[in-house]
Structure 1
Amino acid sequence: MTPAEVPGQQCETALRADAERNRERIMAAARRLYATEGLGVSMASVAREAGVGKATLSRRFATREDLINAVFADRMDDYAAAIAEALADPDPWHGFTRYLESICAMQAADRGFAAVLAMSFPAAKDLEARRTESYRGFLKLIRRAKGTGHLRADFTSEDLVVLLMANAGVIAATGDDAPGTWRRLVGQMLRAFAVPGAPVPALPASPDSADLFRAMTRFGRLSEP
């Protein structure tokens, strides 16, 4: 009898496979919900979306931070890759502007990730380690961009945090009503960061007034107690 034919080992293998399937279902459900509804989704909602019990969810992911850490691991890889690409650009100013546009686009593509970049999760060790790595790269990018004479001397890394928080708010507020609004925000902020006369990407068009009004109305309803 081969090891695969031993009943006990067959049962153990089946349990491991079932546990892995449940983990993947949970992560897929959380990714869908976080992307469309943000990080405010409850663990109970994730369990329902995944079709598993709360106990099963808790066995796979003991805390909300554990789940967030797992769900956004690949997004943080993309985030780290973006700063590496920016640092590799032979034109540091171009690398700087493209980096800001890229990470804000990542936020726009996933409401959950928009919040992740604008918040801190001390208990999510791996996620925070990748964020710290990218932050150090951004400090280097700032120094290089300032060296071109195009980035304002008073720009600080905290300005990036403010931009990401503002962008997350705009994305949440405009939703599907005026989805391109974030591009206008980023375009205006790049102009605020640049010294007069510095080359900047073309300014995206303003959102349509009717679309923006619908977004304001919807966001007002969501904000009601």
Structure 2
Amino acid sequence: MHSDAAPDETPGRPPDTGLRADAERNRDRILAAARRLFATEGLSVSMASVAREAGVGKATLSRRFATRDELVNAVFADRMDAYASAVTEALADPEPWRGFTGYVTAVCAMQAADRGFADVLTMTFPAAKALEKRRAESYNAFLELVARAKGTGHLRDDFTSQDLVILLMANAGVVNATGEAAPDTWRRLTAHMLRSYAAPGAPLPALPDAPARAALYRAMVRLTRPGPT
């Protein structure tokens, strides 16, 4: 029976490419399974569930990813890159207020597209060094974006970086609560918050329609009876 652990290489002996290919396939299966589960169920999914979804044993999962932080780091590396790119694009906008509102909306959209990422943006993973490094870089760039937006007089002087964290926490809650029942609810929350950040006279973002009562009711039912409604 094959093991997915890569053998030691010895001088004069070619590596066992078959076993290495098996190990790489297992890693890809684990990452794909984790992405699916994290995106639909959030980060509360157990490592055992990830192993079952991937069709591998717990020992195989542990060899590839010894901790949850390692798995989260691998799964969300590309999304953290997109998160960092969003603030870079916002800083490049010649109109800082538009860059600010566009950035906040883009990040909230990323949360809405992936429940797992919605959680990632409101949690810390000390052992996931690469992920946390990208988060720190994005945070510092966001501080510059805030300063520029305030310089236009359009962003309230009392806005702080903590306000974005509060919004992301609130948005994660809305995304997780509404699910497929009212999937665009986050847009209205985000627009309301952006309007509250605006100084008098600032251009206000459009306010999307509120979710239909029936859709919001289905979301409320979903909270009490998890699963398809």
* TM tier, smaller: over 0.9
The whole-number CA distance in structure 1 between the counterparts of 2:166 and 2:19 is 46
Q: 1:35 offset after TM fit, Å?
A: 0.4
The whole-number CA distance in structure 2 between the counterparts of 1:72 and 1:160 is 20
Q: 5 Å matches for 1:66-85? A: 66-85=70-89
Q: Is structure 2 residue 170 aligned with structure 1 residue 149?
A: no
Letter in structure 2 aligned against 1:219 = L
Q: 1:220 offset after TM fit, Å?
A: 2.6
Letter in structure 2 aligned against 1:89 = D
Closer, same or farther in 2 for the Cα pair 1:53/1:8, shift >3 Å?
Answer: farther
The whole-number CA distance in structure 1 between the counterparts of 2:122 and 2:204 is 24
Q: Is structure 2 residue 14 aligned with structure 1 residue 14?
A: no
CA deviation string 1:123-149 (max 9, x = no partner): 111111000000000000000000000
SS at match of 1:74: helix
- Could you tell me which residue of structure 1 aligns to residue 121 of structure 2? 117
Q: Is structure 2 residue 197 aligned with structure 1 residue 193?
A: yes
Q: Is structure 2 residue 167 aligned with structure 1 residue 163?
A: yes
CA deviation string 1:61-91 (max 9, x = no partner): 0000000000000000000000000000000
Q: 1:117 offset after TM fit, Å?
A: 0.5
**How large is the Cα RMSD of the aligned pairs?**
1.1
- Could you tell me which residue of structure 2 aligns to residue 4 of structure 1? none
The whole-number CA distance in structure 2 between the counterparts of 1:77 and 1:177 is 29
Q: 1:200 offset after TM fit, Å?
A: 2.0
- Could you tell me which residue of structure 1 aligns to residue 3 of structure 2? none
Q: Is structure 2 residue 97 aligned with structure 1 residue 93?
A: yes
**% identical aligned pairs:** 72
Which of 84, 93, 109 matches 1:105? 109
The whole-number CA distance in structure 2 between the counterparts of 1:219 and 1:8 is 58
- Could you tell me which residue of structure 1 aligns to residue 6 of structure 2? none
List gaps (5 residues or longer) in structure 1: 1-6
Q: Is structure 2 residue 76 aligned with structure 1 residue 48?
A: no
Paired residues, number? 215
- Could you tell me which residue of structure 1 aligns to residue 215 of structure 2? 211
- Could you tell me which residue of structure 2 aligns to residue 60 of structure 1? 64
Structure-2-length-normalised TM-score: 0.92
The whole-number CA distance in structure 1 between the counterparts of 2:17 and 2:73 is 26
Letter in structure 1 aligned against 2:89 = E
> Which structure shows the higher helix fraction?
1
The whole-number CA distance in structure 1 between the counterparts of 2:207 and 2:224 is 28
**Consecutive aligned runs of 4 or more in structure 1 exceeding 2 Å deviation:** 7-10
Letter in structure 1 aligned against 2:64 = R
Q: Is structure 2 residue 134 aligned with structure 1 residue 138?
A: no
- Could you tell me which residue of structure 2 aligns to residue 178 of structure 1? 182
SS at match of 2:225: helix
Letter in structure 1 aligned against 2:14 = Q
The whole-number CA distance in structure 2 between the counterparts of 1:60 and 1:192 is 46
